[in-house]
Structure 1
Amino acid sequence: MLTVEHRENVAWVTLNRPEKQNALTFEMFVAIDKTIKRLKKDRQLRAVVIQGAGGNFCSGLDVKSMIKKPSAIVRLLFKWLPGNANLAQRVCLSWRRLPVPVIALIDGNCFGGGLHIALGADYRITTSCAQLAIMESKWGLCPDMGSGPLLPSILSYDQALKLAWLGTTISGKQAAQLGLASEVSDDLQASCDDLLKRLLIRSPDTLAAIKRVNQSAYQQNLRATLAKETFTQIKLLLNKNTKTAMHNATHDEQKPYSVRSKW
């Protein structure tokens, strides 16, 4: 489900459901959240690498497993205060709160929730033929995993809208051209090792300070955006057109949408 291996003060975090392209179950959300909290307490930690097992990063939410546990959806979205990050948002945003460089290695499919987790990394290395997509619109939903505050520092407004509106699948090469990926390499391990080698000769306090200052400079109004993400998703989950979108995503027969609600 999730494995963590420490090599010379670098934590290699692997999404490990290769038979399901590392699709996210509720248990994986919990495991990722607990892992990040544990890593944050490790003063010896110098860097984190996130990757997927079996040739794919993550194909997104395991919809079938979630449907079987409706209470899990409530637990994913629950928060005590509107501006707090819920569990779904923490698995994206909390990587940014680690005071060390976080690198995501993207290969194969990186869709929906998988892409949001990768966006939480500070640096993303992708293969040229990897496939990336913001998938939520396919199901009549909007992105709600905490990437909202991050995207303005990664993508231009129009490209962020286009990718989220259409759920378009793009290659790793295209992702790098847009800024969604930091670097393209068809030898992820070698590129990651080279980057780590150059990072780890710097003072850990310097790396932490630079990360903190840049987050302050680039970050949007975090609490307001997180609240809007969650409230908007709840409104969509209760929306008649969302049910139509879910039907259309799984059936050949396409149903027409109702008149748009007030937004």
Structure 2
Amino acid sequence: MVQYKVIDNIAWVTLNRPDKQNALNYDMFRQLAHSIKQIKSNRQLRAAVIQGEGLHFCSGLDVQSVTKHPSQIFKLLFKLLPGNQNLVQKVVLGWRTLPVPVYAILQGNCLGGGLHIALGADFRIAHPNTQVAIMESRWGLCPDMGTSIVLPSYVKQDHALAMALSAERIPAVQALEFGLISKIDQNPLAYVKQHIDSLSCHSPDALAAIKQLYNRAYQPVTRQLLWRETWYQIKLLCSKNTRIAMKNGVKNNEKQPYFERAKWK
């Protein structure tokens, strides 16, 4: 479901579940984390590319698949220490640790977990038909994939908050204006290949040093923030209102009223 290939010293990581718009199940999270490890250990690589097979990059979490197996939710969120990265955070923040430039090629739906994974890339090149959304609030949940660390360097707080609260899709042009994507191009694949070629004349050590330096400057990892993401998600998963939101989020279901808000701090 996640294909990993190396061609001409470029790692190609492909979400390959086109019949489900490349929706993420548990196995895909594991395979993405493994791909990141493979890239990190290969010192011959000059770049990495994340892409989706078919018409869409990724429609987000396959909620039905994951909720059928409650143990998978535990495995996705589990961490040995509060400030460590769990599996869902690794498949976003892991791209930031790689010593090569990482590109995400986007088209069609780039929603929820798909957008979070794309935000982990250094450059996000989108086809004009791309739509993006932060979807968690639709299901009564909060974003918990590490992008609370990444987003502040891309997006103004009011834009990020509005997207996360509403769960509404926005088109590529607006996503570019917000800073969620790097460039819109009719042929994102050709653009990425050309951009990688343009960097081939530079020392791979210099590129690695520059990337690590700028990542530390723009996105300092805060262990407390990683823990708070996970803790809020666990608290929401135990909430009566989340169970209502899950039902309300399904199209054509009769909308149910929510209970009084819990205490948050």
TM-score (norm 2): 0.97
**What residue identity is the alignment partner of 1:253?**
E
Q: Secondary structure at the match of 1:148?
A: helix
Alignment correspondent of 2:236: 236
Q: Could you tell me how far apart the structure 1 residues matched to 2:221 and 2:110 are? A: 27
Alignment correspondent of 1:4: 4
Q: Secondary structure at the match of 1:103?
A: strand
Alignment correspondent of 1:77: 77
Q: Could you tell me how far apart the structure 2 residues matched to 1:99 and 1:224 are? A: 25
Alignment correspondent of 1:119: 119
Deviations 1:151-193 (A, max 9, x none): 0001011111011000110111211111000000011111111
Q: Secondary structure at the match of 2:51?
A: strand
Contact map agreement 1:129 1:173 (CA 8 A) in 2: no
Alignment correspondent of 2:245: 245
Contact map agreement 1:132 1:175 (CA 8 A) in 2: yes
Q: Could you tell me how far apart the structure 2 residues matched to 1:225 and 1:120 are? A: 16
Q: Can you give the 5+ residue segments of structure 1 that lack an aligned partner in the other structure? A: none
Q: CA RMSD in A?
A: 0.9
**What residue identity is the alignment partner of 1:111?**
L
Alignment correspondent of 2:259: 258
Q: Could you tell me how far apart the structure 2 residues matched to 1:104 and 1:166 are? A: 24
Deviation at 1:221, TM superposition (A): 4.5
Q: Could you tell me how far apart the structure 1 residues matched to 2:4 and 2:32 are? A: 10
Contact map agreement 1:56 1:110 (CA 8 A) in 2: yes
Q: Could you tell me how far apart the structure 2 residues matched to 1:133 and 1:28 are? A: 20
Q: Could you tell me how far apart the structure 1 residues matched to 2:59 and 2:165 are? A: 18
**Do structure 1's residue 108 and structure 2's residue 108 form an aligned pair?**
yes
Contact map agreement 1:89 1:144 (CA 8 A) in 2: yes
Alignment correspondent of 1:169: 169
Q: Could you tell me how far apart the structure 2 residues matched to 1:213 and 1:184 are? A: 27
Q: Secondary structure at the match of 1:83?
A: coil
Alignment of structure 1 residues 208-247 onto 2, 5 Å: 208-247=208-247
Deviation at 1:39, TM superposition (A): 1.1
Q: Secondary structure at the match of 1:58?
A: coil
Deviation at 1:63, TM superposition (A): 1.2
Q: Secondary structure at the match of 1:124?
A: strand
Greater Cα shift, 181-190 or 246-255 = 246-255
**What residue identity is the alignment partner of 1:69?**
H
Deviations 1:193-232 (A, max 9, x none): 1111112221111111111111111124421110010000
Contact map agreement 1:149 1:221 (CA 8 A) in 2: yes
Contact map agreement 1:132 1:172 (CA 8 A) in 2: yes
Q: Secondary structure at the match of 2:11?
A: strand
Q: Could you tell me how far apart the structure 2 residues matched to 1:213 and 1:220 are? A: 10
Alignment correspondent of 2:152: 152
Deviation at 1:6, TM superposition (A): 1.3
Where do 4+ consecutive residues of structure 1 move more than 3 Å? none
Q: Can you give the 5+ residue segments of structure 2 that lack an aligned partner in the other structure? A: none
Contact map agreement 1:127 1:173 (CA 8 A) in 2: no
Deviation at 1:84, TM superposition (A): 0.2
Alignment correspondent of 1:179: 179
Q: Percent identity?
A: 53
**Do structure 1's residue 38 and structure 2's residue 38 form an aligned pair?**
yes
Greater Cα shift, 218-227 or 60-69 = 218-227
Deviations 1:58-96 (A, max 9, x none): 011111111221100000000000100000110011000
Q: Could you tell me how far apart the structure 2 residues matched to 1:45 and 1:194 are? A: 16
TM-score (norm 1): 0.98
**Do structure 1's residue 64 and structure 2's residue 64 form an aligned pair?**
yes
Q: Secondary structure at the match of 2:13?
A: strand
Q: Could you tell me how far apart the structure 2 residues matched to 1:11 and 1:254 are? A: 45
Q: Secondary structure at the match of 1:23?
A: coil
Greater Cα shift, 114-123 or 4-13 = 4-13
Q: Could you tell me how far apart the structure 2 residues matched to 1:262 and 1:220 are? A: 29
